[in-house]
Homo-oligomer: A and B are copies of this chain.
Amino acid sequence: MDMHDLTGALQQENDSKIVMLVADGLGGLPQEPGGRTELETAFTPNLDELAARGVCGGSIPVKPGISPGSGPGHLGLFGYDPLKYVIGRGALEATGIGFELQGNDVAVRCNFCTLDAEGNISDRRAGRIPSEQSVPLAVRLRDVAVEGVELFVEPVKEHRFVVVFRGEGLGGNVADTDPQRTGVPPLAPQANDSASQRTADVAAEFSRQAVQLLADQPAANGLTMRGFAPKPALPTYQEVYGLRAAAVAVYPMYKGLARLVGMDVIGEAQTLEQQVQVLREHWQRYDFFFLHFKYTDSTGEDGDFDAKVKETARFDTAIPDIMALKPDVTIVTGDHSTPAMWKAHSWHPVPTLLVADYCRTDACQSFGETECNRGGLGQFEAKYLMPLALANAGRLTKYGA
């Protein structure tokens, strides 16, 4: 029995509201040993007040020591075991550019490459061709037609684009065609199981026509295909939690991840203020809201400690307007840590707080990594956050008599 079997069996409806505020990459590191992290440096009176009123702890995104990408990071927060549910690379790339995958799609990450006169790869990334040049080429590939299959070609950036094959009987288990070295031609698409043979055939035909269409392009006259993947089969929030769930995000990746678990993506917000406004406007229509804030991660990736401090403080300013809606359960967390000193996603537990009437508060008086170490939630795997939210919302009955 896994957690979704439990929450599925024990769920009960009421009119409570749950808000999950995700500051991407929230956790950090001090600039020198014994110093303060970005979150501990930032002026966050509103988050501190929530920490004092609620219960705190450290969220382990996947398992100790594992630094997650955005996909597994968010799946964990959404309560989907990130080791059980895997979003294939192609599907994640399509999701990240806002492509809405359907159940009979196979998505593929493609690279433009340079082929020499013999058809061997001379540059696996087509000289990292700038987007201004590559986007029109990707669009040109929309002229490819393969019988019985709908094709979608979407630019990403530089040498990268996505192809989606839509049709019946397309398995997702096809090997990469990138040989990972130069001086040899791209590999022919090989199906790893019989259910994927047709996909391999479609991919081969797509490639053949694409090379014809690119013949006049000296820099980008070929392509390789990687990460063939179907839409991941994820049960929905409605099924596993009984929640009508909505996502308020600015970036396509997070909208897409939310859609994959059955959330409605609401509003067209471009700023944090607009996100809060969207939350307010849709307050009556949903039980659960996921609000995503990107800039704590991007500044961390840039290695810009001061900028991350500033974005953290900016995130804090949105709290009063959100709390004015009187959610029954409020969670503030991140999908992983992105310490500016590390300049990348990391494995460190993410500072997390939960506020609800019956949350059993702890000794934490402010919101930060060190303070969370003595929190009443202890350290826990992110996938347990949703069951805790449901319990605090009174949405789970007793297990067993």
Question: Are B361 and A34 neighbours in the complex by a CB distance under 8 Å?
Answer: yes
Cα A225 to Cα B139 in complex, Å, equals 66
Within the oligomer, what is the number of copies of this chain?
Answer: 2
Question: Are B29 and A358 neighbours in the complex by a CB distance under 8 Å?
Answer: yes
Q: List 23 A-B contacts (CB under 8 A).
A: A1-B83, A3-B63, A34-B361, A63-B384, A66-B391, A66-B399, A67-B391, A67-B398, A67-B399, A68-B398, A68-B400, A82-B399, A92-B400, A92-B401, A93-B401, A341-B358, A347-B388, A348-B360, A362-B373, A363-B370, A369-B376, A373-B374, A373-B376
Residues of B with C-beta under 8 A to A86:
400
Give chain B nearest CB distance to A85 CB in angstroms. 10
| Closest partner residue, chain B, to A336 (CB atom) | B398
Question: Are A68 and B399 neighbours in the complex by a CB distance under 8 Å?
Answer: yes
Cα A53 to Cα B35 in complex, Å, equals 11
- The secondary-structure label for the interface of chain A is loop
Partner pick for A64 among B68, B87, B347, B387, CB 8 A cutoff: B387
| Closest partner residue, chain B, to A34 (CB atom) | B361
Choose, from A69-77, A165-173, A283-291, the stretch at the interface: A69-77
Question: Are A70 and B401 neighbours in the complex by a CB distance under 8 Å?
Answer: yes
Q: Which residues of A contact B (CB under 8 A)?
A: 1, 3, 6, 10, 29-30, 33-34, 37, 53, 58, 62-73, 82-84, 86-87, 89, 92-93, 339, 341-342, 344-349, 358, 360-363, 369-370, 373-380, 384, 386-392, 396-401
- Tell whether A370 pairs with B362 under 8 Å between CB atoms, given A63-B387, A391-B67, A401-B70: yes
Cα A399 to Cα B66 in complex, Å, equals 7
Question: Are B399 and A65 neighbours in the complex by a CB distance under 8 Å?
Answer: no
Give chain B nearest CB distance to A50 CB in angstroms. 12
Cα A361 to Cα B172 in complex, Å, equals 44
Cα A361 to Cα B30 in complex, Å, equals 9
Residues of B with C-beta under 8 A to A360:
29, 37, 339, 348, 369
Cα A347 to Cα B389 in complex, Å, equals 11
| Closest partner residue, chain B, to A375 (CB atom) | B373
The 8 A-B residue pairs with the shortest CB-CB distance in the complex, in nearest-first order: A65-B387, A378-B379, A64-B384, A69-B400, A65-B391, A72-B400, A69-B401, A65-B388
Cα A96 to Cα B43 in complex, Å, equals 55
Cα A360 to Cα B83 in complex, Å, equals 25
Give chain B nearest CB distance to A380 CB in angstroms. 6
Question: Are B384 and A65 neighbours in the complex by a CB distance under 8 Å?
Answer: yes
Residues of B with C-beta under 8 A to A346:
358, 391
Question: Are B58 and A33 neighbours in the complex by a CB distance under 8 Å?
Answer: no
Of the listed residues A53, A67, A369, the one surrounded by the most CB atoms of chain B closer than 10 A to its CB is A67
| Closest partner residue, chain B, to A363 (CB atom) | B370
Question: Are B339 and A358 neighbours in the complex by a CB distance under 8 Å?
Answer: yes
Give chain B nearest CB distance to A110 CB in angstroms. 15
